[in-house]
Amino acid sequence: MKKIQMVDLKSQYEKIKTIVDASIQEVLDTNTYINGPLVHQFQKNLEDYLGAKHVIPCANGTDALQIAMMGLDLKPGDEVITADFTFAATVEVIALLQLTPVLVDVDITNMNIDIEAIKKAITPKTKAIVPVHLFGRAANMDAIMEIAAEHNLYVIEDNAQAIGADYISKSGVKNKVGVIGHVAATSFFPSKNLGCYGDGGAIFTNDDKLAHVIRGIVNHGMYERYHHDVVGVNSRLDSIQAGVLNAKLPLLDEYNEARRLAATKYNAAFAGNAHIITPEFDANENDHVFHQYVLRIIDADRNALMQHLLDKGIPCAIYYPIPLHSQKAYVDSRYKEEQFPVTNQLVKEVIALPMHTELDDEQIKFITDSVLEFLNK
């Protein structure tokens, strides 16, 4: 059996080596390292794929979130609501901009931001909501956009984990996640569903005026060289990474389908086990693209299971072991433990198994057999 990886980028690269190597060589031959033709080509290709009017590439996903908020001209003290159960980058940029993060609980069934918790958290200072499409599953954007419209709020989609996922609205309209809110941010970190070979990110929006502002922000506030019209940052996607992403983008749907197929096999193997709650998804829809495959372990020792898997050479991880409201950097007297019952439960139960495009049946069987061996003993 091939060695099991949490993410097997080497095997994935071997299948696209020729086109990736040619793209990198093109950059080396033309010396177009920053904002070269491959960056513009990737921008256009991703706009076409997403159905977005504007894609603005940048240096990484965290920058993408920060720049999106800067483009909306949020002011210090403005409140931004987001999920307590997610990676710290989401709240990090809120704090960096001297905005006020408002953390709320998540839904037990899908681990995405809880709609009723959003409603309870809104105050006169609230200016934006940041739903995170966690682990690759679309948040409830119908409800979120309705709340935003009612209270005149911006919606900033954190799409770092769900690029390529579809969201079917209650009216039957299908959109890619990331083009539903006012603006969205994504990451092209190597392990993402669409990942480069370094850091990279992008901002999406259908708002022409906002796109113009953001294009200035990513490039030191310049629209014309040495003319600084807005306060900006230095955050640009380099041409080599754009070349890698151009090679992978035509395969993104295939990659996501491979992830869903692996998740289907995992779920089938674990079906009926009293100690396991598997992720819910519709195998016929593209609403979950499984950036991570995350189980909940019930009435069993999750940490001991993790060690059991590691001892067998099976990589696994806990996303996320500490709620954001309990992190030293974000502790705040406004938060009470009773506000976060679901998050506090999930951090004790979740475990992520290997999930990537190269998983084969032999590996999946070994992983699932090993999990069941521990839980059934």
Q: Are residues 326 and 228 in the same domain?
A: no
Q: Are residues 13 and 132 in the same domain?
A: yes
148 occurs within a structural domain:
yes
Taking the C-alpha atoms of residue 87 and residue 352, their distance in angstroms, rounded to an integer, is 14
Catalytic member of 10, 15, 176, 192: 192
**192 is annotated as an active-site residue:** yes
In angstroms, the Cα distances linking 119 to 114, 115, 136, 257, 273 are: 9, 7, 24, 34, 35
Nearest C-alpha neighbor of 105 from the set 345, 290, 318, 278: 345
Domain hosting residue 325, numbered range: 251-376
In angstroms, the Cα distances linking 326 to 134, 329, 335, 345 are: 19, 8, 9, 13
- Walking along the chain (377 residues) 10 residues at a time, the average pLDDT comes out as 96 97 96 95 98 98 98 96 98 97 97 98 98 98 98 98 96 96 98 98 98 97 94 96 98 98 98 96 89 98 98 98 97 96 98 98 98 95
Q: Are residues 158 and 268 in the same domain?
A: no
Q: Are residues 279 and 245 in the same domain?
A: no
Q: Are residues 136 and 271 in the same domain?
A: no
Beta-sheet pairing, 154-158 with 183-187: parallel
Q: What is the pTM of this model?
A: 0.96
pLDDT given for residue 285 in this prediction: 83
Residues 6+ apart with CB under 8 A from 238: 33, 34, 39, 198, 200
2 occurs within a structural domain:
no
Final residue before a domain boundary, out of 189, 220, 249: 249
1 occurs within a structural domain:
no
234 occurs within a structural domain:
yes
pLDDT given for residue 158 in this prediction: 98
Q: Are residues 156 and 202 in the same domain?
A: yes
Domain of residue 173, CATH code: 3.40.640.10
pLDDT given for residue 377 in this prediction: 81
Q: How many domains does the chain have?
A: 2
Cβ distance 281 to 263 under 8 Å? Answer: yes
4 occurs within a structural domain:
no
Taking the C-alpha atoms of residue 1 and residue 312, their distance in angstroms, rounded to an integer, is 13
Taking the C-alpha atoms of residue 60 and residue 82, their distance in angstroms, rounded to an integer, is 20
79 occurs within a structural domain:
yes
Final residue before a domain boundary, out of 230, 249, 268: 249
Cβ distance 147 to 119 under 8 Å? Answer: yes
**Is residue 234 classed as helix, strand or coil in its secondary structure?**
strand
- The one-letter amino acid code at 322 reads I
pLDDT given for residue 284 in this prediction: 78
E-strand stretches of 269-330: 276-277, 293-297
Taking the C-alpha atoms of residue 281 and residue 349, their distance in angstroms, rounded to an integer, is 19
3 occurs within a structural domain:
no
Final residue before a domain boundary, out of 193, 225, 249: 249
138 occurs within a structural domain:
yes
Domain of residue 372, CATH code: 3.90.1150.10
Cβ distance 101 to 323 under 8 Å? Answer: no
**Is residue 192 classed as helix, strand or coil in its secondary structure?**
coil
Alpha helices in the chain (DSSP H): 9-30, 37-50, 61-71, 89-96, 115-121, 141-151, 208-217, 239-248, 252-270, 302-311, 341-349, 361-375
Taking the C-alpha atoms of residue 208 and residue 201, their distance in angstroms, rounded to an integer, is 20
